[in-house]
Amino acid sequence: MGLISTTVLRKVAIATIDNPPVNALGAAVRQGLAAAIAQANADAGVAAIVIASAGKAFIAGADISEFGEPPVAPSLPDLLDAIEASAKPVVAAIQGVALGGGLEVALACHGRVALPGAKLGLPEIKLGLIPGAGGTQRLPRLIRAAKAFPMMLSGEPVSAGQALDDGLLDEVVPSDVVAAAARLAEALAAEGRRPMTSATNGTLTEADREAFEALAKDALRKADGMPNVAALVEAVRAVFTMSYAEGQAVERKLFLSLVTDERSKALRHVFFAEREVAKVRGIGPEVKPREIASAAVIGAGTMGGGIAMCFANAGIPVTLIETAQAALDNGVNRISATYDISVQRGSLTLEAKAHRMTLIRPALGIAAAAGADVVIEAAFEEMGVKQQIFGELSKIAKPGAILASNTSYLDIPTIAAATTRQQDVLGMHFFSPANVMKLLEVVRPQGVADDAVATAVTLGRKLGKVPVVVGNGFGFVGNRMLEQRTRAAERLLVAGALPHEVDAALVGFGFKMGPFAMADLAGNDVGWRSRKARGLKAPVADAICEAGWFGQKTGRGYYIYPQGARAGQRCPEVEALIARIAIENGVTRRSFTQEEILARLLDPMVNEGARILEAAIAARPGDIDIVWINGYNWPAWRGGPMFWADSVGLDVIAKRLQAQAAEIGDKALEPAPLLKRLAAEGNRFASLTSRG
Ligand code: T1G
C-alpha cells in the first residue's frame, strides 16, 4: 500500500510507514500495515519484521479526525492483535514521537528500540479519552501499573532514557535505529520460540496493585468531573482483576463511550483549532520573521512588568522603561517579588531568578528603546499618551523595529498614524497577568507589513504564548465579547439575580470565577474609568464605584472581604442598592434559574462572536474559541463559545436572543445576520471552516 513500503534485508522485512506529516494511523495506514505483517509472515524468506517510519515522528497516534466517523477495518486493536500474534518477531524502530496509538503499536511489538531524542507517551487523557488500543492493558504489564498509570493520567511523554530505565524500551541507539531494530528482531527469531509480548510477560504483583489503587484514589479525588479519569482507573484495574482479553474488552467499551462524550468532542475540536489558528491569511512559510534579539517595554506597571518577565523568561534581554525613577523602582520590585513567589513554590531556582533579573534592564526615558528589535508599549490606556509615545518611537527606534501596542481596545491605525512607519506598527495584546496567561492577540491593522505580523506571531510562540491574529476593532475579539457578558451581568442584577447567583452560574459551567468576583479582583474602578471615558452608564456598577467599593483592594466591592479574605461574602448593602436601582428603573425584579442566567450571559457573547466573524476580525470560529480558552479561562472541555453555541444549537440561541431583545427592548440583542442565517439553515459555526 502507498503509505507502507516493505524492504527485506538479510531475512528481516522492514515495513516503513510514510504518512506525512506525523504518520497518524488512518485507515489506509492500518490496512497497509496489516497487509505488510501478513505478507512478511507468509514469506519464507523472512525470519523477522521491523516497523519503521519516515519523517520526524514515529507515529503520532490514531487519526483524531477519524473519531466519530464510521469505523473502517482493521480497527487499531485488531491490527495490534495481529502484530502481537505474528509468529515472526516484530520490533519497533522509534525516532521522534511515539504517541497514543503510536506507542500502542510499539507495545504490541515484541521489542522496541529508539533514538535518544525519541519521546513516548499516551496523551489520550488530554483529548477526554483513554488509550483505546490495548495501552491500558499492555503498558502496566510491561512497566508496572505504578509507573504506567501516572503516565496515562498525565498524558505527558517520557524521554527515551526514562523509557529505557522503565523497561518500555529494549535499547536506545545513537543512530541507525532501523539496523538496531533489525538486529534485535533477528536475535528474537534466533531464539526459536514464540516471542514474548508486553501482554504476556508482565509480572503482576499485589504490591503493584496496592500502589496503583492509592494513585487511583488520589486521581479520582482530583478528577474534576472528567469521566475519562474514572474510565482509566477502571481499565487499569482490569489488569489485576481480569484476563488480558477481558481487560481489553473493558478498555474498548470505555474508550468507545468516551469518543461520543461532548467533553472529548470539545477537546478534540480545541486540538485542531489550536493548530488552525497558526495559519494566518497571506502569511505562509515564505514570509520570514524578523530577527528579535532584544526588546524594550515602555511602562513598568502591572502589564509592562509582566510583559518584561515574558522576555526574560524566554532569555531575551529587555529594557524596561519608565518616565520616573519611583515608578521604575516599583516595577522592578514587583517583578522581583513575583519571581520570589515562584522560588518559594519551588518552580524557579534562586539562580534562575537572578539570571532573569539581569536580562531586565531598567531605564528612564524612551531613548533607551533605540536599540531594541521590538518595542512593546504598555503605558496608560489613553490615546493621547500612546500617540505621543509612538511619535517619539518613530524617530528613535532602529529601522525595522517592530512597534507594538499592548492596548486592550484602542484603535491601532490611529496609534500608527502618529508614526512614519505604519508598516511596523501593530497590536500585541497580552492578558493579565501577562507572565501567566497564554493568549496573545496580534492585532493586524491595514498597512502593516506581513513580515511584521509573522514576527509578532513567531515572537509570541517564543514567549510561550498562543498567538491569535485578529483584525483591528474596538476590543478586538476577547474584550469585545467580554463587554457583552459584562453588560448582560449588569442587566441580570437589575432584573432580579444577585451577584453570587450570577457568579455561581458561570462557576457551575466550568469557569474559575464569575464576572463579579472577577471585577472585585481586577478592581471595579478599571471598568468605571473606561465607561466614563466612553460616556457609558451601568447603574449598579457605577453606584458601587461611587461608593468607593472597588473590590478586594478596598475590602469590598460586589462582595465583602473581611480582613482581606480572598473569598468574598454576600453584602446586604450591595443587595439593597441593587433593589433600589431596580425600583428607580421601574423594574419588578424576579428570580432566575442558573440555566437562564447562563443563557443571558453567554448568548450575547456568541452573538458578538458572529458579528466579529462577519467583520473578519477573527478568521474562524475556532480562533474565537482559542481566544476565550487561553485568555479568559473558558473551560477547554466546553470547546469555547462558538463550539458551545453549536452544541446548544444556533436556532435555540437565536430564538432566545430574539425573545430577550423584545423583553428588554434592546435591538442590539437581536441575532446577528450570520447567526440568523446559520440558524435558519440548521447549520453550525463549524460549517464555516474546512473541518466543519
Ligand atoms: N491525528 C490527526 N492529525 C494529527 C495528529 C493526529 N493524531 N497529530 C497531529 N496531527 C496533525 C495536526 O493537526 C497538524 O495538521 C499536523 O499534524 C502537524 O501537527 C487509539 C485514541 C505529533 C507532537 O494526541 O501532539 O491515538 O495543521 O502542528 O507541532 O489509543 O501533533 O498541518 O493540517 O501539532 O510538530 C493520540 C497529537 C491520538 C498526539 C507533532 N495522539 N499530536 O507536533 O505538529 S488519540 C496525540 C501531537 C489515540 C489511541 C488513541 C503533535 C505532534 P495541519 P502539529 P508538531
Label residue 16 by pLDDT band (50, 70, 90): very high
Contacts (Cβ under 8 Å, ≥6 apart) of 77: 132, 133, 134, 248, 252
* Rounded distance from Cα 29 to ligand 1 centre (Å): 15
According to DSSP, the residues that pair with 17 across neighbouring strands are 4, 53
Which cell numbers in the block locate residue 586?
421601574
User: What mean pLDDT comes out for the span 28-53?
Assistant: 97
Q: What span, in angstroms and rounded, lies between the C-alpha atoms of 493 and 111?
A: 64
Determine the pLDDT at residue 304: 97
Q: What is the CATH number of domain 512-581?
A: 1.10.1040.10
* Rounded distance from Cα 60 to ligand 1 centre (Å): 6
With 60 as the cut, is the pLDDT of residue 1 above it? no
Mutate to test the pocket of ligand 1, among 3, 59, 64 (most ligand atoms within 8 A of CB): 64
Q: What span, in angstroms and rounded, lies between the C-alpha atoms of 162 and 121?
A: 11
User: For 4-260, which CATH superfamily applies?
Assistant: 2-enoyl-CoA Hydratase; Chain A, domain 1 (3.90.226.10)
Label residue 689 by pLDDT band (50, 70, 90): confident
**CATH pick for 295-476 out of 3.30.420.10, 3.40.50.720, 1.10.150.120, 3.65.10.10:** 3.40.50.720
Q: 606 and 599 in contact (C-beta within 8 Å)? A: no
- The amino acid that residue 368 corresponds to is A
Q: What span, in angstroms and rounded, lies between the C-alpha atoms of 172 and 55?
A: 19
| Tens-place pLDDT, residues 443-481 | 999 999 999 999 999 999 999 999 999 999 999 999 999
Label residue 691 by pLDDT band (50, 70, 90): low
Label residue 529 by pLDDT band (50, 70, 90): confident
With 80 as the cut, is the pLDDT of residue 61 above it? yes
Label residue 72 by pLDDT band (50, 70, 90): very high
Q: What span, in angstroms and rounded, lies between the C-alpha atoms of 89 and 84?
A: 9
Q: Is there a shared CATH topology between the 4-260 domain and the 295-476 domain?
A: no
Averaged confidence pLDDT in the chain = 95
With 90 as the cut, is the pLDDT of residue 625 above it? yes
Q: 489 and 502 in contact (C-beta within 8 Å)? A: yes
Q: What span, in angstroms and rounded, lies between the C-alpha atoms of 29 and 73?
A: 11
Determine the pLDDT at residue 201: 62
Label residue 275 by pLDDT band (50, 70, 90): very high
- The amino acid that residue 363 corresponds to is A
**0.85 exceeded by pTM:** yes
Place of cell 539496523: 179
| Tens-place pLDDT, residues 97-114 | 999 999 999 999 999 999
Contacts (Cβ under 8 Å, ≥6 apart) of 29: 3, 4, 17, 19, 23
Q: Of 388, 416, 128, which Cα lies nearest the Cα of 262? A: 128
Side-chain half-sphere of 529: how many Cα atoms within 13 Å?
9
With 80 as the cut, is the pLDDT of residue 170 above it? yes
Residues known to be catalytic? 104, 124
Q: 404 and 456 in contact (C-beta within 8 Å)? A: yes
* Rounded distance from Cα 591 to ligand 1 centre (Å): 47
Q: Are strands 90-94 and 48-53 parallel, antiparallel or unpaired?
A: parallel
Domain ranges of the chain: 4-260, 295-476, 512-581
Mutate to test the pocket of ligand 1, among 19, 22, 95, 252 (most ligand atoms within 8 A of CB): 22
User: What mean pLDDT comes out for the span 126-146?
Assistant: 96
CB distance 96 to ligand 1 below 6 Å = no
Ligand 1: nearest atom to the Cα of 102: 26
With 90 as the cut, is the pLDDT of residue 261 above it? yes
* Residue nearest to ligand 1 atom 28, measured at CA: 275
Ligand 1: nearest atom to the Cα of 56: 35
The radius of gyration computed from the CA coordinates of the chain, to the nearest angstrom, equals 29
- The amino acid that residue 506 corresponds to is L
Return the exposure string of 96-130: e unless at least 16 CB atoms fall within 10 Å of the residue's CB, then b.
bbbbbbbbbbbbbbbbbbbbeebbbbbbbbbbbbb
Q: What span, in angstroms and rounded, lies between the C-alpha atoms of 173 and 152?
A: 25
Phi/psi-derived region of residue 551, left when phi > 0, alpha when psi is between -120 and 50, beta in every other case: left
* Rounded distance from Cα 22 to ligand 1 centre (Å): 7
Q: In the chain, pLDDT over 90 holds for what percent of residues?
A: 89
Contacts of 561-570 with CB under 8 Å at 24 or more apart are: 561/520, 568/517, 568/520, 570/498, 570/499, 570/500
With 80 as the cut, is the pLDDT of residue 200 above it? no
* Rounded distance from Cα 468 to ligand 1 centre (Å): 20
Determine the pLDDT at residue 642: 98
Label residue 18 by pLDDT band (50, 70, 90): very high
- Which of helix, strand or coil describes residue 597? helix
With 80 as the cut, is the pLDDT of residue 202 above it? no
* Residue nearest to ligand 1 atom 8, measured at CA: 60
- Which of helix, strand or coil describes residue 617? coil
CB distance 467 to ligand 1 below 6 Å = no
